[in-house]
Each structure stands twice: as C-alpha cells, then as structure tokens.
Amino acid sequence: MQAPLIPTEIRVDHSRRRLEIKWSDGTRGYCTFEDLRWNCPCAVCQGEMGQPGLLSQVSDLAPEQTELENIWQVGYYAIGLAWKDGHNTGIYPFQLLRRLCRTE
C-alpha cells in the first residue's frame, strides 16, 4: 500500500501571494492565495443544505479576502487558513491542496 501524499514543508510567500509546498514524493509546487480562497471548502463559502455559498454570489474577491494572515495544521490530514477579512473556517485537506497545487 502506498503512503498518502502529505506536505513535508509549507512556506508562506507573501511577496508572491502563495503557499509553496514540498510533498512527500519530492514534488514541489505552489497554491496562490486567490486559488485557495476561491476553493475554500467551508460551508459559508461553498454552501450547505441546498443553499448557495458566499463564493457563488460574487465574481471578484476583495483584496483582504486573499491576504493570508495565519496557517495551522489540522490533525494529520489538513491545514487551516485565516484571512485578513476575518474568515478562518476553511479546513484544506492535503488532497485538495495537492489538486490545487501548481508544480514548479
């Protein structure tokens, strides 16, 4: 059985507005802050119980919505992100990060 891909290093690059990630298979990539916010998996952003989420109701994000303020590990499966606008309920599983990650 193959071990799951997990980040072995995550670095916040504020000047380039992205997370730089090294994966357990040696791959390096990055996720832009904007891509991360548009893909926030929380119920507020994506909707729940048949109701549309916040992100389905807007076509642009305000600058403070894509300015990352904090990052933390959630168990052994995800990271949490906090944004300058106060939003902090998105838990990003490593599988989602890998899908969003652009390779270098």
3-state secondary structure the chain: CCCCCCEEEEEEECCCCEEEEEECCCCEEEEEHHHHHHCCCCHHHHEECCEECHHHHCCCCCHHHHCEEEEEEECCCEEEEEECCCCCCCEEEHHHHHHHCEEC
pLDDT at 2 over 90: no
Q: Place 1 in a pLDDT band, splitting at 50, 70 and 90.
A: low
Say if domain 7-103 classifies as CATH 2.40.30.30: no
pTM to 2 decimal places: 0.89
Q: Average pLDDT, stretch 70-77?
A: 97
Q: Average pLDDT, stretch 25-35?
A: 97
Residue 24 to residue 28: CA distance in whole angstroms: 9
Q: Which two tokens stand for residue 9?
A: 């290093």
